A and B are shown apart, each in its own frame.
Chain A
Amino acid sequence: MQNRRAFLSSSSIGIGTAALSSILGMSFFKKEKGGIIKETNSGGARGALDALHFAPKAKRIIYLFQSGGPSQLDLFDYKPLLNERRGEELPESVRKGQRLTGMTSGQDSFPLVGSNYSFSQYGQSGAYVSDVLPYTAKIVDELCIVKSMYTEAINHDPAITFFQTGSQQAGRPSMGSWLSYGLGSENEDLPGFCVLLSRGTGRPFGQPLYSRLWGNGFLHSLHQGVQFRSGKDPVLYLNDPSGMDRQSRRNMLDQVAALNEKQLQEFGDPEISTRISQYEMAYRMQTSVPDVMNIEGEPDHIYQMYGPDSTVPGTYAANCILARRLAERDVRFIQLYHMGWDQHDNLPTACAAQAKDIDQPSAALVMDLKQRGLLEDTLIIWGGEFGRTNYSQGTITDTSFGRDHHPRSFTIWMAGGGVKPGMVYGETDDFGYNITENPVHVHDFQATVMKLLGVDHEKFTYKYQGRRFRLTDVHGKVVNDILA
């Protein structure tokens, strides 16, 4: 270190000091009018927003994305009428001609089907939870369950893209990128937006994901979601090649920095300083990422809390432990994706299996953060891209049926940072088809999440190709009712 500091401070045109501070943090340079090179707070560690618009209730987000469309009717939205009228036709007065996906629009009949699971009420809030979510049921008083979510898209790709980026068409920045860009990173050793994937047991070969879902779109690529993977190379290209050790990497970086510094003196291009500091960040990540990914030191009671899967790397349960570890290290946005929620058929078996994957670990994550005092400034979100129909896709048998995609109403839950605990918000009709009370659009949800982090979704824009873009496009209303 001594060596590098010495040459940095001796560099020409007075940017040595700035370069040094950027090694310590992760900042960018901007040439102000008049040519003075200054560290900028846009695109770098500090975030683009000069000041927050509201007092923030949460500092970070853990988004437990349930990819595929979990069935609200089999998990949270209890509709005994569907059991009473099992097999009867969905009344047109309920459907009101709304469009269906191509998978069921050709069906001759739309037979109603209630859940095969039983429901009970839990906690002070009396929230209904189905018996495939016993652990979640125990913590309902920590949760804010929103039963009145709705979206515009009816197919996976546009629907999940809509949730993540505010647009059904690919190309806009993901929510985590927006917040990394706006709020910056509070950890100099880890990316501000980390992503973890797991595959569900309910539909192991279910619908796919796409790396653009955590893409930075038109924002600086510093804000892209960085996928953390189980296995040897937890971040792509993180490990030094075999036959190279830490000391030799350090030696190499020192000489590379010395050579780059000579170029800086010759050309005066501030991009060279940025490059030097990015190599330092990469070097630190090589230690900090394996450190956060190594859960072997977690005590037994933690594994017991998160359930048996949590010792198996790459599972949702193991990822929940990692999410907590990333939250402890102040990572801004931690995004999990759990695949396999697309129960077009065989729902009673498959949905139960999916529920088992996520039930204990999700509940454990909430309580683990709580016992560490982190829940109050961490917002946890659990939910998928749409819900599922109240009628069966395909034939109903004694033991099986399926459900198609349903954008008109579905359930998500949130917990922690700034949302009302023990709340059930919104209502659907007795058929579980249409929302009857307090509808929450995807953009409303996004606006609300941003407010919890202190950001006014209408004021947080990025000008690109002549247009001011925002996560909520030109829509979205904060759902004040659910704010604590």
Chain B
Amino acid sequence: MNQLSAFAPLFVLVMMALSLHSCQEGTESQQQLKMQIPDVVDFNFHVKPILSDRCFKCHGPDENTREGDLAFHTEAHAFMALGQDLDRYAIVPGHPDSSTIVSRIYSDDPDDVMPPPESNLTLTAYEKEIIERWIEQGAEWKEHWSLLSPQKANIPAVSDEAWANNEIDYFVLSKIEAAGLSANDRADKRRLLRRASFDLTGLAPSKDQLTAFLEDEADDAFEKQIDQMLNGHAYAERMSADWMDLARYADTHGYQDDLERYNWPWRDWVIHAFDTNMPYDEFVTWQIAGDLLPDATLEQQIATAFNRNHKITQEGGVIPEEYRVEYVADRTNTFGMAFIGLSMECARCHDHKYDPISQKNYFELYSFFNNVPEEGLIASYGAIPEPYVTLTQEDMTQTLDFINAVDSITEVPVLVMGERADKRQNYILSRGQYDQPTDEVFPSTPESILAFSEQYEQNRLGLAKWLFDPSNPLTARVAVNRLWQQLFGSGIVKTSYDFGNQGTLPTHPELLDYLAVSYRENGWNTKEMLKYIMLSSTYQQSAKVSPEQLEVDPENLLLARAPRSRLQSEMIRDHALDISNLLVDKVGGPSVKPYQPGGLWEETTGGGGGSTAKYIQDDGDGLYRRSLYTFWKRTVPPPSMMTFDSATRDICSVKRQNTSTPLQALVMMNDPQIVEAARMLAYRSIEEAEASAEDRISFMFELATSRQPDEEEVSFIKTLFDQEYDRYTNQPEEAGQFLSVGHFVMKPILEASEFAAYASVASAILNLDETITRG
């Protein structure tokens, strides 16, 4: 199969595909009704999404629920002869009239029509027409795109070559041009640097950085900035925050008692790995199988905490084996979503309904993770669940000096992976139930992705080798798609967690493959890949959206503009701390407990929970660390971060929601962390800016938004300042109260009513949409 033919590069095709997949998950759109049927109907782009979504449930990979011996997930099944006399066919290429699928989907008879009424699924007129036209045009079959090995396609031609900076731009611009649009111009330098800085470091550019960039007229000015950012530890911290979601990192065990655990040295190792630009293959291999590497070092063992970050129960009375099975399943599901972009857990109870993963495949993969010398239940209060390694002060200060040891902590038990000497036998578990073993299975991988080579060890190390086998079609695509998502808000495959039949198709398949192959060929060099993408004109465009663009491409699938999106939860808080000079820039160490409304843990923990029964807020530095260090109690996660769509860390998560809610407004207006930051932002403006109100307002505005306000904007804020100054002058005690929010003590700098008025407008500035947006 020629890779390119799987993605017929016709403009119409692409636009139709884009529209087809633009409907948001969660709402079934009827939009397609009015859509034009494309001249050439493509199986992967037009037909299979319909078959998968509406037909596979009964006519798909799961043999146990298959109806009428008919299935549409493979070519052989779809074209098979049917009926007693084997004289009927669901699909007769070129002949819709003889194809039973066509007569059934158009049938008015409730006993005959497909999908049947009891399925609660229907086909729109457009979808029926698509199937009919596809058959009429010859019913050409194509394999699922993501299971074909990625190849570098030829670079397409574009009209506006001057716009293009690197290969990425040719792939993107050719589609923009085909749609009759043009790409946006480069963003202004301030916004561009702000975007890059949040994307790479999670923080806004400093004033000095901005000045240097604005003054640097050289062609490589932006590249120099990128290099500088990639070389700082803020980059490693920002990358680690996302990885902690994926690895469902938390500081407690979860489940009922939710006692504390101490896996933070693993988090420090992740920061260290990003900081030193550890190649992605090595980074992942250590985490999957560091303990199985020859002469495994302590550092390699620490990396395997990845597979022990899952929840572990201490609820008295559970059946331990039931939970041990959950842990193994969690590792299996995490492996599927994080590294090969497939939702494995569907296949735990039955053959996958949509993807070519059988229940047997599931338990073969499960077998790799099923040989850990572990228990299902933490037996006694506060016991450390085996296996673990105990890091000593000496370990942390010498061999593992990237761990930020604290004098008060002499030993840290880190949960790691290990292998039992007497191997556990593995079985398919009927319905996925711990007490229902059926057929025996052995460690292996789904052959539909890539058969497991006999040369590989039948253990996690072999699994890691399989993952990074150059023939594995998914690993590089999934990884590079996440990097794209980091820089564009959405991946080239929007469903970064699902590259299967129910996932969205790539908007730019050739580009995705180009990047995937480049990433692998260049040694899985993450910093280099990020920089390469950021040097494209595609990345550097302005985020402005014209009515025309909005009309043709409301969801920005063509990338004719840069996306504009709200900052992630960590960035919102870190940004406020940073520009108010409150941020304590210290890397790693035990997690910290910043401001949190009183009583939250106590209300729910019911007296259990040991050290996490009661939230004991830190004092001093612990209040002002970057948010990735905030203590994560699974059953009661930090409320202000959850309000801004942090992942719960119960399970692997590779994409967060990005919502806008009233509770977010309450956090920004009233969280003492933000109110205190407003006070200190005002303080900084008084110290550093010229003495007029306008200057101070501009100074704060620039720190918050990375740009200078225009006169009208200053005048809006000045109006508020005047109102607040009046009020505080008349009610000086109110000024004192407002200035006393938060622990940070500053020296007196201005008369209180005037200072409070500045603090109040600083709070307004922190509440601007623009302050919490990168665009």
Q: Which residues does A use to contact B, with CB under 8 Å?
A: 13, 26, 30-37, 42, 48, 99, 101-105, 154-157, 169-171, 191, 197, 199, 204-212, 215, 219-222, 224, 226, 229, 231, 233, 235-245, 247-249, 251-252, 255-256, 258-260, 262-263, 266-269, 271-272, 274-276, 278-279, 281-283, 285-286, 339, 404-405, 458-459, 461-467
Contact = CB atoms under 8 A, between A and B. Distances in A.
B650 A466 contact: no
B605 interface: yes
Most buried by A among B640, B667, B720, B727: B720
Closest 10 interchain pairs by CB? A466-B502, A243-B738, A205-B607, A35-B551, A31-B554, A243-B737, A282-B665, A101-B317, A103-B317, A210-B635
B502 A467 contact: yes
Given A13-B547, A268-B547, A278-B660, A170 B31 contact: no
Interface of B: 19, 22, 24-28, 31, 34-35, 120, 255-258, 313, 315-320, 326, 343, 346, 353-354, 377, 495, 497-498, 500-503, 543-547, 550-555, 564, 566, 597, 599, 603-609, 634-637, 639-640, 642-643, 645, 648, 650-651, 657, 659-667, 669-672, 675, 712-713, 716-717, 719-720, 723-724, 727, 734-741, 756, 760, 763-764, 767-770, 775
A157 B25 contact: no
A282 B662 contact: yes
A218 to B, nearest CB: 8
B669 A206 contact: no
A156 B258 CA distance: 13
Given A35-B551, A237-B597, A268-B544, A248 B661 contact: no
A243 B720 contact: no
Contact of B319 (A30, A34, A101): A101
Nearest to B763: A252
23 contacts: A32-B554, A35-B554, A101-B319, A155-B256, A208-B257, A208-B604, A209-B606, A212-B650, A220-B659, A221-B663, A237-B666, A243-B737, A243-B741, A248-B727, A255-B720, A274-B660, A275-B769, A282-B666, A339-B606, A464-B25, A465-B498, A466-B498, A467-B343
A31 B550 contact: yes
Contacts of B775: 267, 269
* Majority DSSP secondary structure for residues of A touching B: loop
Contact of B26 (A102, A252, A269, A462): A462
A155 B315 contact: yes
B34 to A, nearest CB: 8
Nearest to B733: A243
A208 B609 contact: yes
Most buried by B among A251, A276, A281: A251
B545 A32 contact: no
B657 A241 contact: no
A339 B608 CA distance: 13
Given A157-B256, A255-B717, A244 B661 contact: no
Nearest to B343: A465
A243 B664 CA distance: 21
Contact of B599 (A222, A229, A279): A229
B318 A101 contact: yes
Given A235-B666, A256-B768, A102 B547 contact: no
B315 A170 contact: no
Nearest to A266: B544
Given A282-B666, A405-B317, 12 more contacts: A13-B550, A35-B547, A212-B635, A220-B657, A243-B734, A244-B734, A247-B727, A252-B763, A262-B712, A262-B713, A267-B544, A267-B775
Contacts of B769: 260, 263, 271-272, 275-276
A231 B256 CA distance: 26
A237 B671 contact: yes
A431 B354 CA distance: 46
A260 to B, nearest CB: 5
A43 to B, nearest CB: 8
Contacts of A256: 764, 767-768
Contacts of A197: 603-604
Contacts of A199: 603, 606
A252 B764 contact: yes
Given A208-B635, A466-B354, A241 B670 contact: yes
Contacts of A339: 606
A67 to B, nearest CB: 9
Contact of B720 (A99, A157, A252, A279): A252
Contacts of A101: 317-319
A205 B606 contact: yes
A208 B550 contact: no
A248 B25 contact: no
B283 to A, nearest CB: 25
A157 B255 contact: yes
Given A155-B317, A279-B665, A463-B26, A33 B31 contact: yes
Contact of A205 (B377, B500, B608, B665): B608
Contact of A215 (B25, B258, B551, B648): B648
Contacts of A462: 26
B666 A285 contact: yes
A32 B764 CA distance: 33
A211 B608 contact: no
Contacts of B34: 33
A255 B735 contact: no
B606 A251 contact: no
Nearest to A67: B606
B760 A170 contact: no
